[in-house]
Amino acid sequence: MNLPIRGIMPPVSTIFKPDMTLDRGGMTLLIGHLIKQGVHGLFFMGTAGEFANMSMDLRKEVTRFAVEAVDKRVPVWIGTGANSTDEVEELSRYAENEGADGVIVINPSYYTLGETQLWEHFSRVARSVKLPIMLYNFPMLTGQDLTPEFVKRLATTYSNVVGIKDTVDRLAHMREMIHTVKSVRPDFSVFAGFDEYLADVLILGGDGAIPASSNFAPELTLGIWNAFHKKDMNELMQIQRKLAYIPYMYALDAPFVNVVKEAIRMRGLDISTQLLAPALPLPESKKAELQQILAQAGLINNTSEPEYVPVF
């Protein structure tokens, strides 16, 4: 499969049964819906996918299932980041052997690594597989930024380091990433991690977004993507004003994985909202706030009781 390393790629929520085993039916429902909506790829075991709370065996199970369930309809990217370099290598090789199209690797957390240690970590991963590798920069959670110069060095050293999800709440960082890395690797893809920066990233010459909202409102980010490429700035601005309400959701609870799952249900997809500990269910009061935000974004009707509006 030729990888279109651009566009809108949901970081897919992982659905669990009440006994906390993988809900294959729920996952199949969500995957099928997202593909039908026209997403350009699917990213499994990102932040919204609860990878940080999974065992190694569960991560391998999700990898195997994702490749089978998607069945080459869109590219499958597997999150293989971990604190241990050995584990990242093992998970990345497993994803390659199972038929994934690429892996996405966030830097280790807890320890702040010196640049030499960080370089060696990503170098070992890049040498361990032939798969395309995307970096995942989320310094708010990892405590350590992947700078544009560091990424440029990786991208010019390893041809299979092909892009980055830049989840930084600062547009200047993404601008610098685009200008610095694409100046030497024009094929290198820069994706916005935060939903609201998609339009800006496209205007600056970036390649799309990997936004949590595309789990429950893919029409917003896909709408901006399509409007931009049609050069319909009026439509783009109208959708952007709706999308601007979405970031308020992520402040409702921590971690926000429960918010994403509740939003999927409120949009009409009947999935389980079970969560891996230490994440907890979203309190009822927060569900009311979530409903209000979704209503402000024009995604559901604003009623006193949740009104699930099918999206397909």
Q: Indicate if 158 belongs to the active site.
A: no
- The angle subtended at Cα 203 by Cα 197 and Cα 204, nearest 5°, is 85
Q: Indicate if 47 belongs to the active site.
A: yes
Catalytic one of 94, 136, 197, 245: 136
What sections of the chain are H helices per DSSP?
24-37, 56-70, 85-98, 115-128, 139-142, 148-157, 171-182, 198-203, 218-230, 233-243, 257-266, 284-296
Closest CA to 211 of 173, 249, 155: 249
CA atoms of 50 and 67, how far apart (whole Å): 18
Catalytic one of 80, 94, 142, 165: 165
- What burial class does residue 219 get, using C-beta atoms within 10 Å of its C-beta: 0-12 exposed, 13-18 middle, 19+ buried? middle
Assign 102 to helix, strand or coil. Answer: strand
Q: Indicate if 17 belongs to the active site.
A: no
Catalytic one of 110, 116, 231, 303: 110
Q: Indicate if 248 belongs to the active site.
A: no
At a CB cut-off of 8 Å and minimum separation 6, what does 171 contact?
197, 200
> What is the four-CA torsion angle of 99, 102, 54, 263, rounded to 10 degrees?
-110
Catalytic one of 14, 47, 80, 167: 47
Positions marked active-site: 47, 110, 136, 165
